[in-house]
Chain A
Amino acid sequence: MDYALEAKDLNINYEETTVLWDVTFQVPSGVMIGVLGPNGAGKSTLLKAALGLIKPLSGKISVLGRSFHEVRKKVAYVPQRKSIDWDFPITAEEAVLMGRYGRLGFLGRIRKADREAAELALDLVGMTSFAKRQISQLSGGQQQRLFLARALLQNPDVFLLDEPFTGVDLATEKAIMTLLRNQRAMGKTILIVHHDLPTVEEYFDWALLLNIRLIDCGPVSQVFHRQNLMNAFGKGQVLFSEAVDLSAKKMSGLL
């Protein structure tokens, strides 16, 4: 059986700090997974490593049983809103259409079918009336929905979303979750880096608890309990982080 996401002994350093250490887990397909952990736990890094954007120091991570580049067309990435330059001269419509670029290559023409698919995606996220607006004129929730529409246009089997609910109003959050649940019903896998603990049991089937190292990974009912949360968010880990950090610095000659 191909796991949606699988990591084995994954170690990632970033600028001489250890961000992920010895992470091993498997996540099945067709479920909604929440990636949880405190700030700096390496959640975004895990996503980026899965997408091939960051090279691990050692170990490997695979999507749908393969390296990312082989299954690129089946995976959609929704990045953090703060990583985008919203002043870019582009309309909502054009931004959504970018979801098709991967399929068209540089020189392919955008066909009518692509444009109609974009309109449909915008409609699904409730953004049809904003199609011609420049993206900085959109609210936080609208920007998030825009990115989701772009992901939908890629028609993926796996969605990877990085903190989609940060700074987003409740109505938008509910709307996005409804959309994602529909996708899950179609058999897609959805992985969300999430920061809001109270909503975990309501939203997710599976949970992945991270704090530089893997705390636990499994169905929410089994994994989302007090002991694990204490390990993930508690202080007992401080010594570990310090030591691991020191190790990275010594290896790179900084200390």
Chain B
Amino acid sequence: MNPYWGAGFFEFFAIFFSRIGQFMLGQFSALSADEVQVGVLSCVAISCGVVGPFLVLKKMAMFANSLSHTILLGIVSSYLLASFLWGGGMFDLSTLLMGAAVAAFLTAIFTEGFVRFLRLQEEASVGLVFTSLFALGIVLVTLYTRNVHLGVEAVMGNVDALCFSDFRVAAWLAAFNALLIALFYRPFQIVSFDSNFAKTLGISCGFFHSLLLFLAATVCIGAFRSVGVLLVLAFLVGPYLTARLFSSRLSRLLLLSPLLGILASLIGVALSRHLLSVYDLPLSTGGIVVMVIGLFYVMALFGKLCMCHRWEKFHA
């Protein structure tokens, strides 16, 4: 019996924190569905919150969009490969990581190739690559699984269908991403800020660029089960943009962004539960969380503009 059944918005938090308290005191009971959702979304928020800032700073946001589409092809091809070679399931960690690598590789190779050898505008190259690879992915998925719903799910995710094993996978990915970013914080910082200077220091910009790409791919692929590949973009970009309005230190932003994402996840799941309990509306939790992220940004921007306006008027 789900302890959150029938709970409203504020009651959700009460139950949630009391259960955390119970967990701390060792009175552990099995995780309920809502907690799994919060858990997975928080892990996604952490992964995106540490990788997203660098993507935005390196002007790779639309490339991340591109990646999020080609992920589907990566997933399908690695699943086909994995099930053929060792009977791996679609959502095993190893299959996912392999799919991430395939997607990142294909996207980067083709985009770079079009720009350099076929002399195509960079944006057009990005666009051509991801729409065609995604279309290919959809066709393969439809043919192989005999329905198009997997394609739809890949795009939109299904938070409400998450289970504990998803939590484990998401947690591992979050730890993996956080560790790598923490370890390589300095090179990532300097490569994003001044790549020529970085090269003169002997830092290989190519290596870190590829690493960031791979991390972005793992983030997308880890998130596709929960929020889907399109909504993960909101996690990557939104919390960073919101945090940036308040802080200009990269180290702080790398802490603030995941926190904002986690907060949005909590509020989103609580809201979803509230709407279900009070209004009997089972809405897409993933979509609600993304809307909360959007709302955070709008509120933050409005707040900042009002503050600036008042500051100017005060000093005029």
A residues in contact (CB < 8 Å) with B: 48, 51-53, 68-69, 72, 75, 77, 79, 83-85, 88-91, 94-95, 98, 101-102, 104, 106-107, 134
CB neighbours of A69 from chain B (8 A): 202
Residues of B within 8 A of A107 (CB): 183
**Which B residues are in CB contact (< 8 Å) with A84?**
193-194
By a CB distance below 8 angstroms, the chain B residues around A94 are 249-250
Chain B interface residue count: which class? Answer: 20 to 34
Question: Is B199 close to A, CB under 8 A?
Answer: yes
Could you write out 9 A-B pairs with CB less than 8 Å apart?
Answer: A72-B200, A72-B202, A83-B194, A89-B249, A89-B253, A90-B193, A90-B249, A94-B249, A102-B202
Q: Residues of B contacting A89 with CB < 8 Å? A: 57, 244, 247-250, 253
Closest to A75 in B: B200
Using Cβ atoms and an 8 Å threshold, which residues of chain B touch A106? 183-184, 186-187
Whether the pair B200, A53 counts as a contact (CB closer than 8 A) is yes
User: For residue A95, which residues in chain B have a CB less than 8 angstroms away from its CB?
Assistant: 193
B147 at the interface (CB under 8 A from A): no
Determine whether the beta carbon of A101 is less than 8 Å from that of B248: no
B249 lies within 8 A of A52 (CB): no
Residues of A with C-beta under 8 A to B250: 88-90, 94
Chain B 125-160, CB-CB to A under 8 Å as 1, else 0, gives 000000000000000000000000000000000000
Of chain B, the residue at the smallest CB distance from A136 is B248
* Complex alpha-carbon distance, A214 and B297, angstroms: 54
Instruction: Check if A91 sits within 8 Å of B199, measured CB to CB.
Output: no
Scoring B residues 191 to 204 as 1 if CB is less than 8 Å from chain A, else 0, what string do you get? 01110110111110
Give the Cβ gap from A154 to chain B, nearest Cβ, in Å. Answer: 9
Cβ of B61 under 8 Å from chain A = no
The CA of A94 and the CA of B193, in the complex, are separated in Å by 11
Bound together, the chains give a CA A95 to CA B192 distance in angstroms of 12
B190 contacts chain A at the CB level, 8 A cutoff = yes
Q: For residue A79, which residues in chain B have a CB less than 8 angstroms away from its CB?
A: 194, 196-197
Q: B190–A98 contact, CB under 8 A?
A: yes
Inter-chain contact A72/B201, CB cutoff 8 Å: yes
Residues of chain A with a CB closer than 8 A to B247's CB = 89
Give chain A residues whose Cβ lies under 8 Å from the Cβ of B199: 51-53
Closest CB in chain B relative to A148 CB, distance in Å? 13
